[in-house]
Amino acid sequence: MGSSQSTLSDQHVFQSGQGQIGFNLMNSLQQSPESDKTRERLASLDVQKRVADELQRLQNKEDQVSKITDEQIAKESMDDHQIDRSSVTRSISTLSQKLRDQSGSAGQSEAVKQAEAAVVRCLRLNDRRPLDCWREVEEFKREVTQLESVFVNKVVGDV
């Protein structure tokens, strides 16, 4: 039992469930210079080549679609910019004209002038302690903010 080594015979007999495989087929497979690994490698290389070709074809198609899409976007963008540019230019000229018309009224508010005079007076009285004038400064800021909002509403509200 195990004391003698197994010997391989030169003749192999393969059987399938239906019967024996033909002797000529088996002989041609045994005589073939290609091994299973070689056939597997060739099949793998063939599959890799097909995949690479398909990827290249898809990449070319994607590049074409991307190029066409970019051209369409550029064309639409140019059309939109021309419309936007002219309308923006008209809006700017309208706003500029309104600003020129109302440029003198920005400094005419009495409340702002009084608040500014109060800040100056407080700073002169408290020249060594300017932080004591915070109430006057806050009042000045509030008046300027109101004047700005009125001015912006006049200019932009009409557009």
pLDDT tens figures, 64-100: 988 888 888 877 776 655 666 777 777 778 877 777 7
Residue where one domain finishes, among candidates 89, 115, 135: 89
Contact criterion met (CB below 8 Å) for 85 and 137: no
Taking alpha carbons only, the member of 139, 94, 92 closest to residue 112 is 139
Residue 78 lies in a domain: yes
Residue 75 lies in a domain: yes
Q: Which long-range contacts (CB under 8 A, 24 or more apart) does 101-110 make?
A: 102/151, 102/154, 102/155, 105/151, 106/147, 106/151, 109/143, 109/147
Q: Is residue 114 domain-shared with residue 148, that is, in the same domain?
A: yes
H/E stretch holding 11: none
For the record, the structure tokens of 20 come out as 């024996």
Count: domains in the chain: 2
Residue 136 lies in a domain: yes
Q: Is residue 116 domain-shared with residue 152, that is, in the same domain?
A: yes
Q: Is residue 39 domain-shared with residue 68, that is, in the same domain?
A: yes
Q: Is residue 79 domain-shared with residue 115, that is, in the same domain?
A: no
Per the confidence metrics, is the pTM higher than 0.85?
no
Residue 73 lies in a domain: yes
Q: Which domain holds residue 152?
A: 106-159
Residue 5 lies in a domain: no
Residue 9 lies in a domain: no
pLDDT tens digits for range 97-153: 777 776 555 555 788 889 989 999 998 888 888 788 889 999 999 998 988 888 788
Residue 18 lies in a domain: no
Residue 24 lies in a domain: no
pLDDT band per the 50, 70, 90 thresholds, residue 7: low
pLDDT tens digits for range 50-64: 998 998 998 999 889
